[in-house]
Chain A
Amino acid sequence: MWESLIIEPFINALLFIYDLIGENFGLAIILFTIIIKLVTWPLMSKQIKSSKAMQDMQSDPDWVAIQKKYKNDKDKLAQEQMSFYKEKGISPFASCLPTLFQFPVIIGLYQSIIQTMGNAPLQMLNLIPKISPWLKDVFSFIPGLQEPISLIPLNSQFLWMDIGQPERIFIPGISFGIPLLAVIVALTSFLQTKLISTSSADSQSNQMSGMMNIYMPMLMGWFAYSLASGLALYFLTSNLFSIIQYAALGRFDFKNLFPKKNVEVVKK
């Protein structure tokens, strides 16, 4: 069911874009990632707004007073919390439900890219039955569209990289390849987490998000370094799109890049 509902349509859509733009798989990955991100934009916006409301609630004097009042009665605190949500019109699930909807789409996108890049016999054997002519039939009015299966093997060259292999750029005079894309992925991951993170009154939360700001970019950089460059392109496009999306929603703060130490918060 997962395969037929998510993976197969995604693979065929990727191949359709690939055919449409002149057999450039790198560009097809970028465009498909942008399309998926645009489709999930309303969900993401809702999630961003909801999480903002939840964050604002943490500094609401009424809520702080409730927390103080019922700090030794967890049941009562939970009841008051629900009343507070109702009063302020906050839906606690509004920030996680969109994520739940988006998650299968993002995982499906990721898996379909991996499967379409298949460059070994077992991968190809699994890919071919998933290729369907339906998109060509639906868009038969577009001239020059090919039978999707005739697109195999995909042209894996994009700029200086082979989409199916980890990316390295070779510069004359340097004997080893430089993982430029991995560095850019790590940097954009860092920018993304830094620009959208907000400081909390809770020092523990601040420290945790500080840790995530370091670990996540390193992790994404490592993936981009070691996995096929097609996936690194997906990570990069996804990061850049998220930064733009947060900026468009006014949820990004350049001051986060060079934060001043909040002594008061630390003392608390």
Chain B
Amino acid sequence: MMKKKNIQIALLITMLAFLISGCTSAGAASSWPGVTIIENTGYVSNGAQTFAVDLKNGSLIWKYPAEAERARQAFSAPKVGEGIAVFGDYNGALIAVDAENGTKQWEFSGAKDRYIGSIVLADGMIYAPNTDHYYYALDTEGSLQWKFKTEGPNWTTPVSDADGIYFASMDHTLYAFEHTFLSASMDIAEDGSKTLRTDVKWTLDLGMAVVADPVLVDGVIFVATIEGKLYAVDAANGSTIWSFNNSGNLGSVWGTPVVGDSIVYFADVDGSVYTVDKETGKQLWPSAFSAGSKIVGGGVLTSDGVIFATEDGKLFLINSEKEPKTISNFEKAIFSPLGISGENIIAAPANEDALLTAIDPNGFEIWSFLPIK
């Protein structure tokens, strides 16, 4: 009788453990697929594995690791250059694999926290943002060249041009650096690691954290904050050319702004799409277009306008005249940025049926890719 009671208590406590564990984020998805499209190849990190997919037919080219590791969580979009694909994971590992076949080339494990944003490959260097408050600069062999400490976690992908490299941090600051540094500007630790002192080219206080990847076009950085403000910043000196916040009514911006010839398109988590003049920041439509559902991922520019995806799974095209056209409805949240391959639109609805799906401009499915578990 007593033994039975003991078992009942043990069961009760175990149930309580499951209940409390269920209230936490442990084991739950914490992000959405990170996708990069390069011509006919799609690279996607989604939790336990990273895949390269042939976008002509949706077939698997390679996957890393070969067998899914449950403890691994990777969501930063792989970036490809100089023959390697580089991506980070939540365990602080930055991994480079052969872009053609997925064979591991090297791993940098010097970071202490998560890679949420993607790396950028520029001028023979890899710049990697980490949530441990550092940006890491490595050569393409994976050797750490220097690191730079910020006041907060770093979630966004840096941007670069011939003149420099630019980081938008969660510490509310946009940082600009030259591509090269004198060794005199480094603090060299006992282990040989070099930390860059704060002699940055310039910084700009954005007043709020940044979670949306900035974009750099013709010497102007377009960067949006979580408070809902879009800045156009002169990359040469860090001065604000203009800023737009829709009189304080702009929601939090998570997607990279889409910069056309003369118009900047962007959307907020309230589901509103805005267009502003690229040169002046003046709002072009009298009012925003309401998509009716949260927009998280950035849009993709086509010859007919910009395509956005919503939390309720709708894909729609909107042109500069504010004329919307529904393309498809996945009925599943799409938070990842969209891509274009040939004429097809590539979306990552990350549901149980498909990780990547290609549809034609009329919304007809061409193929879908679902990794074998």
Q: Does A204 contact B (CB under 8 A)?
A: yes
Q: Give the distance in Å from the alpha carbon of A156 to the alpha carbon of B209 in the complex.
A: 15
26 A/B residue pairs, CB under 8 Å, sorted by A: A120-B31, A121-B32, A123-B30, A125-B254, A125-B269, A128-B226, A128-B269, A147-B227, A149-B208, A150-B172, A150-B227, A152-B209, A152-B226, A153-B152, A153-B153, A153-B171, A204-B2, A211-B5, A211-B6, A212-B9, A216-B13, A219-B17, A222-B17, A223-B17, A226-B26, A227-B24
For B20, what are the chain A residues with a Cβ–Cβ distance below 8 Å? 110, 223
Summarize B's interface: helix, strand, loop or mixed: loop
For A119, what are the chain B residues with a Cβ–Cβ distance below 8 Å? 114, 131, 153
Q: Does B29 contact A (CB under 8 A)?
A: yes
Produce 1/0 per residue, B153-169, CB < 8 A to A: 10100000000000000
Interface pairs A-B: 9 shortest CB-CB: A120-B30, A121-B31, A153-B170, A215-B13, A211-B9, A152-B209, A128-B252, A153-B152, A122-B30
Residue of chain A at shortest CB distance from B228: A149
Of B25, B32, B208, B227, most buried by chain A (CB within 10 Å of CB) is: B25
14 further interface pairs, Cβ-Cβ under 8 Å (given A114-B23, A121-B32, A149-B208) = A107-B23, A114-B25, A121-B30, A121-B31, A121-B155, A121-B211, A129-B252, A147-B227, A150-B227, A152-B209, A204-B5, A215-B9, A219-B13, A223-B17
Q: Give the distance in Å from the alpha carbon of A152 to the alpha carbon of B24 in the complex.
A: 20
Q: Does A191 contact B (CB under 8 A)?
A: no
For A48, what are the chain B residues with a Cβ–Cβ distance below 8 Å? none
Measured CB to CB, the closest approach of chain B to A141, in angstroms, equals: 22
Evaluate whether A121 and B13 lie within 8 angstroms (CB atoms) in the complex, with A150-B227, A223-B20, A231-B24 already known.
Answer: no
> B245-271: which residues lie under 8 A (CB-CB) from chain A?
252, 254, 269
> B231-255: which residues lie under 8 A (CB-CB) from chain A?
252, 254
Q: Are A150 and B207 in contact (CB under 8 A)?
A: yes
Produce 1/0 per residue, B202-218, CB < 8 A to A: 00000111010000000
Q: Are A121 and B75 in contact (CB under 8 A)?
A: yes
Interface size on B, residues (CB 8 A): 41
For A118, what are the chain B residues with a Cβ–Cβ distance below 8 Å? 25
Residue of chain B at shortest CB distance from A120: B30
> A129-188: which residues lie under 8 A (CB-CB) from chain B?
129, 147, 149-150, 152-153
Q: Are A129 and B269 in contact (CB under 8 A)?
A: yes
Residue of chain A at shortest CB distance from B252: A128
Measured CB to CB, the closest approach of chain B to A220, in angstroms, equals: 10
For A125, what are the chain B residues with a Cβ–Cβ distance below 8 Å? 254, 269, 296, 335
> A220-235: which residues lie under 8 A (CB-CB) from chain B?
222-223, 226-228, 231
Residue of chain B at shortest CB distance from A124: B211
